Amino acid sequence: MTKVQEEQMIQELTMTGATAAAIGAILSRVEVVSAYPITPMTHALEYIAKVIADGELNAEMLTVESEHSAMAACITASLSGARTFTGTSSQGLFLMHEMLHWAGGSRVPIVALVGNRAVCVPWCLNVDHQDSMSQRDTGWMQFYVENNQEVLDTVIQAYRIAEDKNILLPAMVCLDGFILTHTRERVFVPTQRKVDDFLPPYDSGVFKIDADNPLSQNVVALTSSYQEFRYLQQRAMENAKKLIKQVNDEFAEEFGRSWGGLINIYPQDADFETAVVAMGTAASTARTAVKELRSEGKDVGLIKLRVFRPFPDEELQKICSGMNALAVIDRNCSFGAQGIAYNQIRSSLYDLKERPLVLGHIAGLGGRDISVNDIKKILTDAIEVGKTGEPPKTVEWVNLKEI
């Protein structure tokens, strides 16, 4: 079969984001899947379970009593040399929290799907990023995707990055609950052969659990060595920055789709005086707002923050140097310190000689709509603030009702 003939066999299907993630894991030839059901991620794991039960995927599906156990099972399986996958959301992710640190410290390249959902109390099933953002310091890479095609593609890329011998870190692929998990979009599904060529089998090397060659794992580290373990984790995160960009470029060459690596800007290869920073599905809305404002002659742009860990300091500094204003939209709140991305970006740009004014906006919590007009107003206000050079003293809560 020629390359052209194989490419013609790529399927164009309509599917939810959860199904796209499941197919991405199946194409990645996962060997162990362990999860506990939770809205809005349940049907992603149900899809994989059916494929395994039908004999179409040679893998083990482990049913456990909690998300904590699901992550513990993934850690053990990964230490045994298996490619592992799981998925969760909101309170389930919180129940995993202890084991997320274990996974990061054990340097196991698990890929976990996070269907972003608001956290309790009060109970809310709709999207914001509080759940995954609360796990940003557990040693996991974090990808925030915009549409269902990016979901499938990023799962495959995440394994390629996480399993690299210079990285060996777990990765979260975060998609907005219900907006993506339950909404159907057109997705191009690559052939298994093309994915196999791009993603080789997982080789955990000599450091794996093997009954015939026993060794100690997760041993005690004394004061004399503990700090060095943490330094190696940090160095792996720094190494991942370059690899994420490289893997994205290689994926674009093989599959014809690029997601920008760490960040993605619109319009591409353009300089602008004012920009909005958005993550997840809000980036699609922001792109439309930017397009409309540019048609009116406004010098604005979009910076889509695709990867939050490792944080793309250098890329942001390069793009933002010389800009007037940067409006950051956070779908989260670090209570007492405002938006998480807002504060991270302010810190990242602090040493720039010509840094923009960074304006914070908290929006879309609990699934509240973030409209094109909302973002157009945010950008229009940012243009005016950039002219005066006097930023607001507080972060704006967008569409906040009177209380």
Q: Are 16 and 177 spatial neighbours (Cβ–Cβ below 8 Å)?
A: no
Distance CA 120, CA 126 (A): 11
Q: C-alpha angle 399/340/348, rounded to 5°? A: 125
Q: What is the mean pLDDT of each run of 10 residues along the chain (403 residues)?
A: 50 96 98 96 96 97 97 96 98 98 96 98 97 98 98 98 97 98 98 98 83 80 96 98 98 97 94 97 98 98 98 97 97 97 97 95 98 98 92 91 92
The neighbour count for residue 246, using CB atoms within 10 Å, is 14
- The rounded distance, in Å, linking the Cα atoms of 227 and 257 is 40
Output the pLDDT for position 9: 56
| Neighbour tally for 122: CB within 10 Å | 7
What is the CB-side half-sphere exposure of residue 183 using CA atoms within 13 A?
Answer: 14
Q: What pLDDT, on the 0 to 100 scale, is given for residue 2?
A: 45
Q: Where are the beta strands (DSSP E) in 151-289?
A: 171-176, 184-189, 263-266, 274-278
Question: What's the confidence (pLDDT) of residue 5?
Answer: 41
Distance CA 377, CA 388 (A): 17
Token pair 């994915």 is at which residue? 195
User: 48 near 25, Cβ under 8 Å?
Assistant: yes
Q: Quote the DSSP letter at residue 338.
A: B
What are the structural domains of the chain?
A: 3-255 (3.40.50.970), 263-397 (3.40.50.920)
pLDDT of residue 393: 82
- What gap in Å lies between CA 315 and CA 22, rounded to an integer? 31
CA distance 233 to 106: 10
Residues 146, 321, 174, CA angle at the centre, nearest 5°? 20
pLDDT at residue 206 in the model: 64
